[in-house]
């Protein structure tokens, strides 16, 4: 596991503060991301974990300013990248940052490969968006990139079409595209979810290698805590649009605090126990319209829920230095504030 002491007091590369992103449903706004704050330091790998529907993708789309227009919007908060407020930039300026300074690999078809163009053409296009290169130079650079992401015989693959490649190879090409301009930050939203376990491991290894050679920070989004163990320095656990726990990776695995994190730990698939059925967490993440308005959002699924959890809204508070938890079990002040505990 990786050590957070590699990142002493460096200024953050990305700073997200109080981010609230809402969708309009039947004329009303509902927060899919509800007051999320975090930092990413240069070269840091931050894991963002949580079940499907917890707001991970909406959070990354918010950073990239790629929310569906007229449907989703940032209501509150600041997103500062390299000292620039991204939420204030116009499309043109944001386009310059996207791909060049911040790369992304998303699962959504929007960023997947176009079946009618060769790999080389598509990769060259992303280079041309940001650099002036001759055709020959671009081809050379594309071959170099394919090689860098571990594609063998790149001089052949450059002229092939996406359907001629395996899923793992296609994901490598997507990664090549995302890192073509050497971004300082890569956002990888479930980059291995669609791949089988062996290929998953290879892709994670590739990302880690690239993080080191390119001195790149990564936000690695996944629903699988197992994926973050080897790859990340720090982890945010998200539930229902909120951060419920934040810690460095060693602390989180050795000493998980939030009952949700504990349950996620128990549902990590283990290679050596293929027979054993995964303990999945009972119940579902509440939909935006059914989000509890007060109390803890996890209360209905929490094995440790107390009566007070329905009425007192837990705050994200520091349990130990650098370890934050949003749970009444670890809040010492709630019963002293007049909301008597039984
Ligand atoms: N375009 C949209 N319109 C309305 N609700 C949306 C839209 N996209 C996402 N949501 C809702 O926002 C919440 C968070 O979704 P998402 O960020 O995709 O979750 P995750 O990536 O963690 O699986 C979910 O409740 C989802 O239904
Ligand atoms: Mg998602």
* C-alpha 112 to ligand 1 mean position (Å): 19
Our mutation pick for probing the ligand 1 site, out of 19, 20, 22, 23, counting the most ligand atoms within 8 A of Cβ, is 23
Q: What is the pLDDT of residues 283-336, one digit of tens each?
A: 999 999 999 999 999 999 999 999 999 999 999 999 888 999 999 999 877 655
Distance, in Å, from the CA atom of 281 to the CA atom of 272, rounded to the nearest integer, reads 21
* C-alpha 72 to ligand 1 mean position (Å): 10
Percent of the chain with pLDDT over 70: 92
User: Strand, helix or coil at 83?
Assistant: coil
Percent of the chain with pLDDT over 90: 73
Indicate whether residue 58 lines ligand 1 (CB < 6 A).
yes
Rounded to the nearest 10 degrees, what angle do helices 119-128 and 135-148 cross at? 110
Indicate whether residue 54 lines ligand 1 (CB < 6 A).
yes
Least reliable range by pLDDT among 13-22, 257-266, 268-277? 268-277
Q: What is the pTM of this model?
A: 0.93
**Higher pLDDT, residue 8 or 307:** 307
State the virtual CA torsion across 131, 137, 142, 145 in degrees, nearest 10. -80
Residue 270 has pLDDT above 50, yes or no: yes
What's the gap between Cα 264 and its chain centre?
16
């Amino acid at each position: 596991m990786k050590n957070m002491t590699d990142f002493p007091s460096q200024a953050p590369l990305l700073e997200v503060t109080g981010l609230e992103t809402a969708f309009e449903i039947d004329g009303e706004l509902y927060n899919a991301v509800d007051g999320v704050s975090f930092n990413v330091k240069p070269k840091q790998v931050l894991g963002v974990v949580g079940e499907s529907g917890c707001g991970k993708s909406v959070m990354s789309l918010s950073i990239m300013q790629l929310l569906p227009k007229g449907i989703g919007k940032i209501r509150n908060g600041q997103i500062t990248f390299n000292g620039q407020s991204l939420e204030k930039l116009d499309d043109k300026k944001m386009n310059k940052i996207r791909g060049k300074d911040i790369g992304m690999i998303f699962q959504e078809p929007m960023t997947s490969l176009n079946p009618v163009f060769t790999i080389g053409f598509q990769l060259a296009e992303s280079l041309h968006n940001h650099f002036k290169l001759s055709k020959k130079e671009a081809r050379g650079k594309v071959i170099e990139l394919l090689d860098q992401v571990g594609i063998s015989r790149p001089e052949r693959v450059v002229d092939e079409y996406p359907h001629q490649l395996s899923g793992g190879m296609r994901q490598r090409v997507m990664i090549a595209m995302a890192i073509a301009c050497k971004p300082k930050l890569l956002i990888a939203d479930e980059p291995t979810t669609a791949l089988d376990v062996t290929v998953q491991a290879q892709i994670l290894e590739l990302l880690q290698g690239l993080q080191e050679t390119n001195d790149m920070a990564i936000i690695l989004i996944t629903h699988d805590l197992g994926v973050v163990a080897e790859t990340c320095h720090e982890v945010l656990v998200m539930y229902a649009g909120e951060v419920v726990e934040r810690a460095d990776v060693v602390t989180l695995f050795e000493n998980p605090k939030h009952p949700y994190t504990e349950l996620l730990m128990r549902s990590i698939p283990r290679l050596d126990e293929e027979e054993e059925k995964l303990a999945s967490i009972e119940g579902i993440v509440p939909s935006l319209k059914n989000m509890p308005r007060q109390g803890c959002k996890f209360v209905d699924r929490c094995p440790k829920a107390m009566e007070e959890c329905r009425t007192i809204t837990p705050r994200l508070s520091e349990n130990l230095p650098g370890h934050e938890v949003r749970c009444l079990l670890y809040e010492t002040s709630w019963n002293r504030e007049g909301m008597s505990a039984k």
